[in-house]
Amino acid sequence: MSRDTACDPLPSVGRPARATLGVRRSASAVIGRVLERPALYRLWQRPFVYAKFAPIGRHNDLGAVRRVLDVGCGPGTNAGWFRHARYTGIDLNPAYVAYARQRYRGDFVVADVRGFVPPDGARFDFVLANSLLHHLDDDACRELLPRLAGCVSTDGHVHILELVSARRPTPAWLLARLDRGSFTRSRETWLGLFGEVLAPVVCESYAVPAVGPTLWNMLYFKGRPLAAAG
């Protein structure tokens, strides 16, 4: 496993005032509605897409990947890395999926990943969840992660990029609070959830962007299904 820096736990901040909570929820809802438009989401993410994906590039030979399952694929953000492979992307947002279908090769499916069953018992050597799981509560994560582990081929892995909670008051803390996903977790909590079904192969904390003020504290986790790893 990669050596890694410990992540500060989220400090106790007390109960936020009702008005503050209301303002945050409204701001988050407005941002959410704007970012549901594929072109605007792409524009907002464009400067950061490479930095978010960088640890996957460092730890894997992407050219050797054969079959990809990308859950919460958005408007095809990650599809371009896998042009040579058989790629399936799944997302809840039909506008994202329509956008991705116009731009990338592959199968793009509108579906809730929580109920996804791979067609014909398909197995994937690269199962990717980039910034999806902080949209799901613990129960949903516990439902999804074993499903993902069950889709992995004998030589494959699950690759997770996730948002880690940040200390306040920093830009990263503010962006996490305003994020559409309500379930940003500490590094320890993420590792606990992943560890229920996956044995870690790589576990790396990193900042996005890599230089300048941190906007997102991220975690890259690469794991093997526990049953297979045992």
In sequence order, the 6+-apart residues with CB closer than 8 A to the CB of 33 are: none
Min dist CB 18 to ligand SAM, Å, is 27
Q: Are 126 and 67 in contact (CB under 8 A)?
A: yes
Closer of 110 and 201 to ligand SAM (Cβ): 110
CB of 135 to ligand SAM, least distance (A): 4
In the complex, the smallest distance separating the C-beta of residue 77 from ligand SAM, rounded to whole angstroms, is: 3
Q: Which of 107/112 has CB closer to ligand SAM?
A: 112
Q: Which is nearer to ligand SAM, 16 or 80 (CB)?
A: 80
**What's the token pair of residue 182?**
């309500």
Please say which residue, 67 or 134, places its beta carbon nearer to ligand SAM. Answer: 134
Which residues in this chain contact ligand SAM in the complex, by CB under 6 A?
45, 72-74, 77-78, 90-93, 96, 112-114, 130-132, 135
Read off the tokens for 61: 């030979």
Q: By Cβ distance, which residue is nearest to ligand SAM?
A: 74
Instruction: Give min distance, CB of 136 to ligand SAM, in A.
Output: 6
Nearer to ligand SAM, 20 or 102 (CB): 102
Nearest to ligand SAM of 92, 175 (CB atom): 92
In whole angstroms, the minimum distance from the beta carbon of 118 to ligand SAM comes to 14
Contact between 130 and 72 (Cβ < 8 Å): yes
Q: Which is nearer to ligand SAM, 173 or 216 (CB)?
A: 216
Contact 207, 164 (CB under 8 A): no
In the chain, the amino acid numbered 174 is L
CB of 214 to ligand SAM, least distance (A): 17
Residues 6+ apart with CB under 8 A from 205: 4, 5, 7, 164, 187, 217, 218, 219
For 106, how many CA atoms within 13 A lie in the half-sphere containing its CB?
31
Give me the amino acid identity at 58: R
CB of 70 to ligand SAM, least distance (A): 7
DSSP 121: G
Q: Which letter, b or e, does each residue of 48-63 get, where b requires 16 or more Cβ atoms within 10 Å of its Cβ? A: ebebbbbbbeeebeee
Given its phi and psi angles, is residue 100 left (phi above 0), alpha (psi -120 to 50 degrees) or beta? alpha
